[in-house]
Amino acid sequence: MAIETKNPATGEVVKTFTPHTPEEVKQKIEAAEAAFRSWKKTGFGERAQYMQQQADILENEAGTYGRIISLEMGKPLQDAVAEVKKCATVCRYYAENAENFLKDEAVETKASRSLIAYEPLGVVLAVMPWNFPFWQVYRFLAPALMAGNVGLLKHSSNVPQCALAIAEICRKAGFPDDVFQTLLIGSKEVDAVIENPLVKAVTLTGSEAAGSMVAAKAGEQIKKTVLELGGSDPFIVLDDADLEQAATFAVKSRMVNTGQSCIAAKRFIVVQSIADDFLKRMKEMMGALKTGNPLTDDCDYGPMARKDLAVELEEQVQQSLRKGAQVVLDGGRTDTESAYFKPMILKNVTPGMPAYDEEMFGPVAAVMIAKDEEDAIRIANDSRFGLGGAVWTQDRERGLRVARQVETGAMFVNALVASSPEMPFGGIKKSGYGRELSYLGIREFVNQKSIWVA
């Protein structure tokens, strides 16, 4: 079956690609292993030079690559350009810090000398999603290559031009052949790649179901995995919050990438005493957002990435309404043939509804009313997910206290949940395990070797 670029704003198939055959995939894996044997011997200075050159390309040609992102998954062009530029920051971060992060670490023992050395594993497979088709890849690519590993990318099948562009950028930056390659394959072919003995580890960003399958296959093969999966992030608004600020960021957080972000706020947990005021502000702000063609219009949000995703989200909403949720801001699908989905706000969201229990991967906000701070924390933790979250209060110490009690991989106080090169990124519970970014991210795919000299 051909792999397609399909413009979600128009439904038009723009370009088709022939998938790699099993033999071609095998050859690419063997080429990656051959490249690793020489790449692992390069110094950090040489690797950093290529990585800095890659950052230059990303910054200088952000408009070109941003347009590809918008074309393939519907992100407004200005947001797509910003995504490409953000990738340059993670390239520079690891170019400047990898050597320090992976230097030998002396340990006091009874030996004359003992240390921990950090050595690359080899060929690492990255299975990546469509929602941030450049950023998700680069937060793996930059640390993995700077550590001396080589990369194979199996990207989401609806963003093949993004996948090929990233491999081309690596070549333009001067990286040796086959240090980073793209595999044009479907999800059914991933198992065979993981089973190949030359592939040493796997990282996946995607759904809970996809993570479970990849983890099972990698576990069967005794191979290291890092999983960054779904999230249903709580956005807690306490009774002393600045409601104008909280509502402004609530809308931004819910609508980033048309709501298609694992760390977008999805469950809005509002203390009862200020709930009506907060909801009024949020409804006004969200209702004022405008959509359009992401490639040509000055719009706040674009279509969802695929029509089937909009259909799935609509069904989650309808099931929640049938179970008693109420509409605060009406929206949804106005054209059954389109991937566009107008923002919605639901209230009276309770356990047993998809809006409460599941990840709503699109522009729908689920509002839950808490009696007080303690109840808000309870609701926040009443989820199988644990990726990110935020709490809003004018008392920073109170915010820190609440943040420590919410079961997530990251908590933000009076700020939008976001990923940045300096801070580790990942989740707990069904949101996955392992960490990307920071010094922790680059140490995920290395052999932490103990060396003892008598």
Which amino acids are annotated catalytic? Answer: 228, 262
User: Which residues are CB-neighbours of 81 under 8 A, at least 6 positions away?
Assistant: 62, 63, 66
User: Which residues are CB-neighbours of 188 under 8 A, at least 6 positions away?
Assistant: none
| CA separation for the pair 432, 385 (Å, rounded) | 9
| CA separation for the pair 373, 18 (Å, rounded) | 55
Q: Which residue in 199, 201, 271, 208 sits closest to 234, CA to CA?
A: 271
**DSSP codes, 105-130:** EE--SSSSEEEEEEEE-SEEEEE--S
| CA separation for the pair 319, 267 (Å, rounded) | 17
Edge to edge, the sheet with strand 364-370 lists 326-329, 344-347, 364-370, 265-271, 233-237, 390-392, 412-413
In the structure, how many helices (H) and strands (E) does the chain have?
15, 20
Give, for 433, the enclosing helix (H) or strand (E): strand 432-433
